[in-house]
Amino acid sequence: MIFTSKHPDINVPQVGIYQYVTSNPNNIPDDKPIFIDGITGKSYTYGEFKHDSKKFAAGLQDRLGFKRGDVLAICSPNQIDYPIVLLGTIAAGGKVTTANPKYKPNELSYQLTNSGASVLIVHPEFIETGIEAAIEAKIPTSRVLLFGDKEIKGYKPYRSILIGDREIEPITYTPEETKITTAYLPYSSGTTGKQKGVELTHTNIIANLEQLINAKCNLGTHSILMGILPFFHIYALTCILHGTLIHGSTTVILPSFNVETFCESIQKYKINHIYAVPPIILQLVNNPVVQNFDLSSVNLIISAAAPLSDELEKKFLEMFKIPILQAYGLTETSPILHYPDTINLSNTAPGSIGPLLPNVKAKLLSEDSRELGYNEPGELWVHGPNVMKGYLNNKEATDAVFDKDRFFNTGDIASVDEQGNFFIVDRKKELIKYKGFQVAPAELEAILLTHDAVSDTAVIGYYSEEEATEIPIAYVSIKSGYDQSQDLAAEIQSFVNKNVAPHKKLRGGVWFIDKIPKSDSGKILRRLLREKLRNDRMN
């Protein structure tokens, strides 16, 4: 059967993202601070954001010859100028690809090349990676610019080059153009190992924001958000950066998670709404320094990007008396599909990710592709205006995740009760989720196979109670002439870790096995490895 949202359908505004987020439905004044640097206290008012983002757009056109449809890449941790560069590019008619600043040069250059980026704005802390990646991607030095106010090695701050007096009139789109024009290109790992550019259109992002508003996400001008989730990730990109603007909220921006700074910011700025991931919740529960701060301003935490255990949720509520609700989505769905009732908290069943958002339909399929009903776990397929256009320049991968009716395959196993509450049961696809970031086993396996001692390998994930997240581990069979030893395992682990971004590291270590179990067709039987891992860890 097809499941529909219990929310009434909504009309999605057919305008560009910039016009939508600056439409100001809550009549916030231009002098209201909307983005605040939680470390330095520097802030941008709503009016300053609009002026600077339109000046940035003009600078792109006037100084760099940036045209409608061109791609700009941002490689930076969270910082206060991020939304100006992001939305300024959108105002200029461009597309933005957001990159993890902890990428290695080869990982960043792949994204720059694959996305077709012609401009790179990089944080000074990661300038070396940016330079190397830009050279590899053939982006000229003059089109690599820095956040901050200092020139480094001849690379100039973006403000000194692009912010002048002229403000652009933001590019507009027809209703049809909004549905097909890509705005953002975040990258999502595929089971083939290489990341894929996810084409999110203007309508995809606007639809998701409107869906959240109509699902009573309970945000507005009274809201003070915590900007701790990485802005390059779709979760923060939509819910925090765009959400701040359309709701007229204020966001306190922190570059990375530190328990003390996090709690200090809550106390200082009276933050009342937090988007989080389970590892943050775990640290708040386990670190005694939290008790030194007043967190009473917080009235709700939304956890997403990875499952939150019932035990951790209950423990947090007991300690802090702050409710946590779970939402669910994917990069490919802009991202939110399910959102809990944040006003009537008792309406959301324990452990549930809430009901479908407005305009979203879903079906649950059995292994033999039968449509299932209530309380029957199956593979979750969804359809809605927030579902991506497709994977960039990858028709094969796009066709593989859509059916003939344009339902998208999430790869997750879910169930739904008679009240419309959905529950994630398991994940069918092989991707490992480390603190909300996707790790493709095939990518790590490809690196492992380049080590002199490794003859075959398979990477799986297991849930670490200590870190409250999945972590990758590798099983390897080694070539003759090598001995299984702790030193060799550590050497192989280090070999991989030096060649990948931090979230992809083999935190579970390297385990030896005589032969990787495979099917007749050559597919790795990861289920058997997971069973072996359980036994190995018990012994």
Residue 312: per-residue pLDDT = 85
Residue 403: how many other CB atoms lie within 10 Å: 14
Distance (Å, whole) CA 377 – CA 289: 41
The pLDDT tens digits for 430-442 are: 778 898 887 888 7
Q: Looking at residues 44-58, what average pLDDT do you find? A: 98
The yes-or-no verdict on residue 194 having pLDDT over 80 is no
Q: Could you tell me which of 451, 443, 444, 519 has the C-alpha nearest to residue 479?
A: 451
| Mean pLDDT over the full length of the chain | 93
The pLDDT tens digits for 265-293 are: 999 999 999 999 888 998 898 899 999 99
Q: Looking at residues 448-455, what average pLDDT do you find? A: 91
The yes-or-no verdict on residue 427 having pLDDT over 70 is no
State pTM to two decimals. 0.87
- Domains, in order of start, for the chain: 432-538 (3.30.300.30)
User: With contact defined as beta carbons under 8 Å apart, do 302 and 327 qualify?
Assistant: yes
* 3-state SS class at 320: helix
* Confidence band, pLDDT 50/70/90 cuts, at residue 189: low
Least confident residue range of 388-392, 422-426, 487-491:
422-426
Q: Looking at residues 531-537, what average pLDDT do you find? A: 86
The pLDDT tens digits for 61-95 are: 999 999 999 999 999 999 999 999 999 999 999 99
Distance (Å, whole) CA 477 – CA 516: 7
Distance (Å, whole) CA 427 – CA 125: 36
Contact residues for 522 (Cβ-Cβ < 8 A; gap 6+):
none
DSSP conformation class of 480: T
In DSSP notation, 432-479 reads EEETTEEE-HHHHHHHHTTSTTEEEEEEEEEEETTTTEEEEEEEEEE-
Residue 190: per-residue pLDDT = 45
Q: Looking at residues 229-239, what average pLDDT do you find? A: 96
What amino acid occupies position 66? F
The yes-or-no verdict on residue 7 having pLDDT over 90 is yes
Q: Is 250 exposed, middle or buried (0-12, 13-18, 19+ CB in 10 A)?
A: buried
Residue 520: per-residue pLDDT = 52
